[in-house]
Amino acid sequence: MSPSTPLLREANLTEIESLALSSQLNMADGHARQELTEAQRSIIDELPDLFGKAAAQPVDDLEREAHGAYLHLLRQHSYPTGPGGVLTCYSSSVAMEILSRSLAASGGGPVALVHPTFDNIPDLLRGNGLRLLPVEEDVLHHGPVGEAVPEAVRCLFVTTPNNPTGRVLAEERLAAIAAECAARDVVLALDTSFRGFDTRSHYDHYAVLRDSGCRWVVIEDTGKLWATLDLKVGLLAYGDGVGLPLAKIHSDILLGVSPFILVLVTRFAEDAAAGGLTDLHRFVADNRALVRATLADVPGVSFPDVDARVSVERVDLGDRPCLDVWTRLRQGGVYVLPCGQFHWADPARGDRSLRIALARPPGALDAAVRALRAVLLDA
Ligand SMILES: Cc1ncc(COP(=O)(O)O)c(C=O)c1O
């Protein structure tokens, strides 16, 4: 893709992220690219043994172990443990495609989707012919619950914690929304890909969903937490009576993920439970503090997501057009994301903010944010 401004406006976020993949100063995608901790490096040193274990053990056992290690780590103790209640996918996007195709196959009204959010979610839903209605974050999180679930929708889709804002759906609010969905027979779907970073999203969502009696689907993702070179899984969990052909469409697309990746996920989750997750939270908080401190005295710049704990940080640029800033950064080999595309129903609302990835080595992040500071002071 040519990175000229008009094309940049039309590009999706993944196209913009792909421009940065070989850059030393890639602060664009939300994948985990920090250095491994000592404990994680020792897991990598065990890879030949893990490969042997993966080859020797029945895949059902490995899958059960990976689901359990990951979901208990994040305190999702009530996840479905029965056969087929959690479908393992190559990535959360594949889980999202399966959900989108399942919704498309089952007819009905439009899908309500949180606004803003990562653009591949609306893209996959629309790509399957589904009509979307935006639900603003403030409406989703506060005020009459009926307004969070628009009239005549067949599904409400919520990203929590959200990307890029980091907003987390509180337990009481999830319960209220789930009760509303149950009463109106709306499927409630959650993308919790970023939940590992934020303990406020570690309450047991599955217990809340089960107790509400609504039809529900949850997409989980191991890929945002650990720098495993994109060896990751997406999980597609759903309740009894969901009424969507998820398992059938999963089987249209894949037989299963590599048992080797399942073993790796289990080992990283065990390490996280033994203290690695707390260390990761501190690491992300330190990187967020670095970004805020470096830009603190730049006139007009602010940080809209004051409470965010996820591994990305939005920067509001005041009256500076984001695409100008993005283009000048790129000329210096520094990549971030413009925010227009996150506002999938109204891109102009993201025209003056950008998103910086925090799951990066602090030295590289520091260099990138200093370059951003220089561009902003010059703009
Ligand atoms: C909220 C959310 N869900 C899903 C995805 C897709 O993840 P993947 O590219 O690993 O499929 C992303 C990507 O950043 C995301 O931000």
302 and 241 share one domain: no
The H or E element containing residue 61 is: helix 59-73
- Given a contact cutoff of 8 angstroms between Cβ atoms, the answer to whether 120 and 223 are in contact is no
Q: Which of 163, 195, 311, 339, when mutated, tests ligand 1's pocket best, judged by the most ligand atoms within 8 Å of its CB?
A: 163
Q: pLDDT tens digits, the chain, 379 residues: what are they?
A: 445 666 777 899 999 889 888 888 999 999 999 999 999 999 999 999 999 999 999 999 999 999 999 999 999 999 999 988 999 999 999 999 999 999 999 987 899 999 999 999 999 999 999 999 999 999 999 999 999 999 999 999 999 999 999 999 999 999 999 999 999 999 999 999 999 999 999 999 999 999 999 999 999 999 999 999 999 999 999 999 999 999 999 999 999 999 999 999 999 999 999 999 999 999 999 999 999 999 999 999 999 999 999 999 999 999 999 999 999 999 999 999 999 999 999 999 999 999 999 999 999 999 999 999 999 999 7
Residue 111 has phi, psi (to 5 degrees) of: -105, 130
Q: What is the CATH number of the domain that holds 295?
A: 3.90.1150.10
Total count of domains within the chain = 2
- For residue 341 and ligand 1, the question of a CB distance below 6 A is answered with no
Ligand 1: centre distance to CA 199 (Å)? 19
- Given a contact cutoff of 8 angstroms between Cβ atoms, the answer to whether 266 and 295 are in contact is no
> Which domain-ending residue is among 222, 250, 269?
269
Ligand 1: centre distance to CA 14 (Å)? 10
Q: Which of 18, 99, 193, when mutated, tests ligand 1's pocket best, judged by the most ligand atoms within 8 Å of its CB?
A: 193
> Which domain-ending residue is among 244, 269, 294?
269
- For residue 18 and ligand 1, the question of a CB distance below 6 A is answered with no
> Which domain-ending residue is among 237, 269, 301?
269
- For residue 222 and ligand 1, the question of a CB distance below 6 A is answered with no
Q: Which domain holds residue 192?
A: 39-269
23 and 131 share one domain: no
100 and 112 share one domain: yes
45 and 32 share one domain: no
Helix, strand, coil content of the chain in percent (nearest 5)? 50, 15, 35
Tell me how far apart the alpha carbons of residues 37 and 356 are, in angstroms, rounded to a whole number: 22
321 and 224 share one domain: no
17 and 105 share one domain: no
Q: Which two tokens stand for residue 206?
A: 């599955």
* pTM, two decimal places: 0.96
Q: What is the CATH number of the domain that holds 232?
A: 3.40.640.10
HSE-up of residue 66 (Cα within 13 Å, Cβ side)? 28
- For residue 30 and ligand 1, the question of a CB distance below 6 A is answered with yes
Angle at CA of residue 33, ends 31 and 36, nearest 5°? 130
372 and 299 share one domain: yes
- For residue 163 and ligand 1, the question of a CB distance below 6 A is answered with yes
246 and 287 share one domain: no
15 and 115 share one domain: no
137 and 260 share one domain: yes
Residue 115 has phi, psi (to 5 degrees) of: -135, 125
What is the number of the ligand 1 atom nearest to the C-alpha of 93? 11
235 and 247 share one domain: yes
The protein residue with its alpha carbon nearest to ligand 1, atom 12, reads 118
Amino acid at 25: L
Q: Which of 15, 221, 312, 339, when mutated, tests ligand 1's pocket best, judged by the most ligand atoms within 8 Å of its CB?
A: 221
224 and 333 share one domain: no
Ligand 1: centre distance to CA 95 (Å)? 10
Residues in CB range of 328: below 8 A, 6 or more apart: 375, 379
